[in-house]
Structure 1
Amino acid sequence: MTAQTDQPAAVTVLGLGPMGRALAVAFLDAGLRTTVWNRTPGRDIDLVARGAVSASSAAEAVAASPLTVVCVVNYDASDAVLRQDAVAAALKGRTVANLSADIPERARDTAEWADRHGVRYLDGAIMTPTTTIGTDDGVFLYSGPEELYGEHRAVLAALGGTHTHLGEDVGRAAAYDVALLDVFWTATAGFTHALAMARAEGITGAEFAPFAQGIAAILPELFTEFAADTDAGTYSGELNPITSSASTMAHVVHASEAHGIDASLMRVIEGQARRVIARGHGTDGYSRVTEVITGR
């Protein structure tokens, strides 16, 4: 409630895909006056039944609240909505928190557009699935003006979970997002490839999964070690030099291809390790690859 009006705080949600709907539900459950809009009509029927206000246009939607949360597939989609003349005019003096996913350059470009049009802008990223929204397990990242984040923090907190402001550079949340997605998809690709290899040897997924989870349990400590090595430029290979790592990578390649399984991903990984060795860093750890792939 606001002290002046004793009315619930207001928020608008643009985009009612699975994640946008989850955001709207969390705001409604927290008792916020929630206005919703989606490019495709009809997706807000159940939300309206729960108390949401359905806007007939994006301009009407953003005019209804001091804070608009955008959650669409990418910045092409968000730009197509926000950069309409009527929407930009309605947003003047109001705040947009764009939780759509894209790359840091797009976030910075949108922030520049917003500044030119008198729109207050925060960028953000949602790092957990729809099922975590409104619970303690959600993870939200933000970047942009810290004062603006602080102003809207209480409303954003209705989404549950943890909320972290990463700094004034508006592209920082997107930078974290793409880097963390890199970890997720590379790991997922590795696991699906491993399942194919295991199946080729007559090992079921159910048999294999517990041992794969054991490998995953090793990773947090390795992440901390690799991060420290990379920050310091030490790349220690005392416990496992990259020459040893490259040898085990070759085993994966050979075993895969013996079964006709595509090993192109592991061939790339092995190739990077071989490049480190060729440059005279064979006694270093695998984290030295970070310099090779950045051209240093």
Structure 2
Amino acid sequence: MGTIMAHAFLKQGKRVAVWNRSPGKAAALVAAGAQLCDSAHAALSASPVTVFVLLDDQATHGVLGRPGVMAALAGRTVIDYTTNGRDEGLALQALVNAAGGLYVKGMIVAYPRNVGHRQSHTLHTGDHEGFEQHRALLEALAGQTMFLPWDEALAFATVLHAQAFATMMAFFEAVGASERFGLPVAETARLLLDTSRFFISDALEEAVRRLEAQDFAGDQARLDVHAGAFAHIAQALHAQGAWTPVFDAVCGVVQRAESMGHGDQDIVAATQVFAAANPPETAAQRPI
């Protein structure tokens, strides 16, 4: 990821200085026009902003503990894309601030192939001043970038990735189940993508509108109608021996929403099942 980010900066015409704990890994970047630094201190001194992409929090502290690094942080901004937790990030922010620098925690919502894509998103937190100073630079990594306070940023990142990966798994499940029906898997995957693209996008747009207006009228997609259809879909899947834990969970959610009195409302009312103060007990939560 770090190499791809550096290439994205170079493609935008930025002057890029790089340092890697394994110098040989920077050869392709040097060939592309980057300047290779012989130390972390030299890399930090070369620019008012430094992007960290390391293995983990321990590796980050290892770099910060190298000779001259802490002194080089004064008046500079560190943008850290290393994966770490809230407490680790806050501790790093305090450390950088104490050295006279600014700390911005970054999260990129894209796989490496889409770094630099205008539709990719990045999320940042930490020192807002540092983010605003270097917003234009960060847009070289993703066309859509935002800043939120620490707790809000981490909460949003959590629910965003839960939703995104659940969506992916539902797609993988459907593609896998198609093989049980004798359908060509690769062709069916393409058909699923093409056929569902507008349907799902429109459904989510409508859900946002209804949540903003608190309008759950069942004039388009009643929840109880979905529950009946879901039962038929599940029966057909199970008859073919398909293992569909994701869709089975969907059926369970809709049934619970019906039992809570939302059957005559729009399917977006299922949101209230997940927002309920007392969620249903799952098998994993039950005492043995």
TM bucket (normalised to shorter chain) is 0.7 to 0.9
Q: What is aligned with 1:164?
A: 145
TM-score for the superposition, normalised by structure 2: 0.79
CA deviation after TM superposition for structure 1 residue 201, in Å: 0.9
Q: What is aligned with 1:246?
A: 227
Over residues 216-248 of structure 1, what are the superposed CA-to-partner deviations in whole Å (9 max), with x where a residue is unaligned?
211222112212333444434332222222233
Greater shift in the superposed pair: 176-185 or 237-246: 176-185
Q: What is aligned with 1:181?
A: 161
Over 6 Å off, 4+ runs: none
The equivalences for 1:1-296 within 5 A come to 19-72=1-54, 76=57, 79-81=60-62, 84=65, 86=67, 87-101=69-83, 107-108=89-90, 110-134=92-116, 136-157=118-139, 159=140, 161-167=142-148, 169-208=149-188, 209-296=190-277
CA deviation after TM superposition for structure 1 residue 83, in Å: 5.1
List gaps (5 residues or longer) in structure 2.
278-288
TM-score for the superposition, normalised by structure 1: 0.77
Structure 1 residues 243 and 135: alpha-carbon distance in aligned structure 2, compared to 1, 3 A threshold: closer
CA distance in 2 between partners of 1:218 and 1:252 (Å): 18
List gaps (5 residues or longer) in structure 1.
1-18
Identity, % of aligned pairs? 27
Over residues 42-101 of structure 1, what are the superposed CA-to-partner deviations in whole Å (9 max), with x where a residue is unaligned?
21011122332323443443233210112345x536644465375444323311112345
Q: What is aligned with 2:281?
A: none
Over residues 133-185 of structure 1, what are the superposed CA-to-partner deviations in whole Å (9 max), with x where a residue is unaligned?
3454543333444433232234334x265243334x14555544443333332
CA distance in 2 between partners of 1:268 and 1:221 (Å): 23
Q: When the two structures are aligned, how many residues end up with a matched partner?
A: 275
Q: What is aligned with 1:14?
A: none
2:44 is matched by which residue type in structure 1?
V
Q: What is aligned with 1:7?
A: none
CA distance in 2 between partners of 1:193 and 1:147 (Å): 44
2:249 is matched by which residue type in structure 1?
V
Structure 1 residues 186 and 55: alpha-carbon distance in aligned structure 2, compared to 1, 3 A threshold: same
Contact (CA 8 Å) 2:16, 2:34: kept in 1 or not?
yes
2:35 is matched by which residue type in structure 1?
V
CA distance in 1 between partners of 2:71 and 2:213 (Å): 48
Q: What is aligned with 1:10?
A: none
